[in-house]
């Protein structure tokens, strides 16, 4: 049966995090449509993975029988994360925007997972695996908006997940999430509500489509 690898990175709980709430909705629909499937869940805020170290990096460039004990230990953690991606039939990633880009915990996970000659390079080992990213943000960084030049979440993840890992990438983008909490954005609350509703609808629709695809 199909396996969904679900990664969350928001520092806030589901009731205060749009990326978690929308990703949870996606996951629930996927499980309802695909009850025999498996979900592997990683909460990078609650249980962060190690930042890449010199030992972990150099071990990925050397033959296993040449590893020092420190390299072997560091690479074992990388290998566990890499194998989760390789064995997944689909990925779901919550990627809120913090200071214009992704959380550092998600960057650490990516640094561990990207291994040239295996997950990246001429023949990426997870090539074609569908990945849905819930890219929430407090404002709007859509094309044509004043903040468009500061959009370093989707642009970065297209380069990493799409180009480097060769995954089949799709985004759900709840925006203006700070509007209900920032008096200066009060006039944008209706736009936030419309974006939130659209994100939940997309999550249910895309999850159902993915489950049907996995079951086919």
Tokens of 195: 């974006």
DSSP 117: T
Residue 208 to residue 34: CA distance in whole angstroms:
9
> In 3D, which of 210, 212, 215 has the Cα closest to residue 92?
210
Identify the pLDDT of residue 35. 86
Give residue-wise pLDDT tens across range 111-147. 999 999 999 999 999 999 999 999 999 999 999 999 9
Residue 49 to residue 209: CA distance in whole angstroms:
31
3 state DSSP class of 129: coil
Beta carbons within 10 angstroms of residue 200's beta carbon: 18
Range list of β-strands (E), the chain: 3-8, 38-43, 90-94, 130-134, 168-172
Identify the pLDDT of residue 62. 82
Identify the pLDDT of residue 140. 96
Average model confidence (pLDDT) for the chain?
94
Give residue-wise pLDDT tens across range 9-59. 999 988 899 999 999 999 999 999 988 889 999 999 999 999 999 988 888
- Tell me if 48 sits within 8 A of 105, measured CB to CB: yes
3-8 and 38-43 beta bridge pairing: parallel
């Amino acid at each position: 049966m199909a396996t969904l690898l679900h990664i969350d990175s928001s520092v806030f709980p589901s009731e205060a995090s749009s990326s978690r709430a929308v990703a949870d909705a996606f996951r629930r629909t996927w499980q309802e449509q695909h009850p025999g499937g498996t979900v592997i869940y990683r909460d990078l805020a609650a249980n962060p993975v190690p930042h890449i170290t010199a030992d972990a990096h150099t071990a990925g460039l050397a033959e296993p029988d040449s590893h020092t004990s420190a390299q072997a230990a560091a690479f074992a953690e990388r290998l566990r994360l890499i194998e989760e991606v390789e064995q997944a039939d689909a990925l779901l990633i919550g990627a809120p925007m913090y200071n214009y880009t992704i959380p550092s915990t998600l960057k650490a996970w990516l640094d561990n997972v990207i291994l040239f000659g295996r997950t990246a390079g001429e023949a990426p080992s997870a090539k074609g695996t569908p990945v849905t990213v819930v890219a929430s943000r407090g404002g709007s960084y859509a094309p044509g908006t004043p903040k468009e030049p500061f959009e370093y979440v989707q642009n970065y993840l297209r380069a990493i997940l799409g180009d480097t890992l060769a995954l089949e990438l799709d985004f759900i983008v709840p925006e203006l999430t700070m509007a209900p909490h920032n008096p200066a954005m009060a006039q944008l609350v209706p736009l936030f509500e419309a974006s939130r509703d659209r994100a939940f609808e997309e999550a249910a629709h895309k999850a159902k489509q993915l489950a049907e695809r996995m079951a086919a």
